[in-house]
Amino acid sequence: MGTFNSLEEAREYMSGDAFAAHCGMQLDELTDEYSVCSMALTGEHLNIHGTVMGGVIFTLADFAFGCLASHIHRPTMAMQASVSFLGAARGKRLIARASCRKSGRSTTVANVDVTDESGRDVAQLVITGFKL
């Protein structure tokens, strides 16, 4: 059983993430096994080549991990992350789905898949969090 009693409670808690809120990131789904977060893309998210900045992609994945990890055990802080960028995002929306691979005594490990609105793979991450 997660730490949040409802999706609305989780959204309220995660609204304290000022940078994610500034970027327009939102929590769409949350269960004991996974979270789904998304954001609308604007010109502010593009790099010099006209594609979505890697930091934007990473931040959305980190936010999805944070939502899931906070539901599993609050507080949890990311301590290691590995990212593979798979392809340029197309369209106007990014979606990140974090799924729990392991929830141990002191750590949580999640896989995070980032896609664009068409389902095209954009990035894959493995993030390890330390339960405080």
In angstroms, the CA 94 to CA 85 distance is 13
Q: E strands along the chain, which residues?
A: 26-30, 34-40, 76-85, 93-103, 107-116, 121-131
Tokens of 32: 């004991």
Give the torsion through C-alpha atoms of 6, 10, 15, 19, to 10 deg: -150
Does 64 map to a domain? yes
Does 1 map to a domain? no
Does 38 map to a domain? yes
For the chain, the average pLDDT equals: 96
Give the range of the structural domain holding residue 19, as residue numbers without chain letter: 7-131
Q: How confident is the model at residue 1 (pLDDT cuts 50, 70, 90)?
A: confident
In angstroms, the CA 32 to CA 106 distance is 17
Q: What is the pLDDT of residue 55?
A: 96
In angstroms, the CA 91 to CA 111 distance is 23
Does 73 map to a domain? yes
At 56-70, the pLDDT tens digits run 999 999 999 999 999
Own/partner pairs for 5-10, CB < 8 Å, 24+ apart?
Answer: 10/67, 10/70, 10/71
Question: Which CATH number goes with the domain that contains 11?
Answer: 3.10.129.10
Q: Give the residue-averaged pLDDT of 36-64.
A: 96
At 9-34, the pLDDT tens digits run 999 999 999 999 999 999 999 999 99
Q: Which residue type occupies 5?
A: N
Does 2 map to a domain? no
Q: What is the pLDDT of residue 38?
A: 98
Q: What is the pLDDT of residue 130?
A: 96
Does 104 map to a domain? yes
In angstroms, the CA 101 to CA 84 distance is 18
- pLDDT greater than 90 at residue 77: yes
Query: For the chain, how many structural domains are there in total?
Result: 1
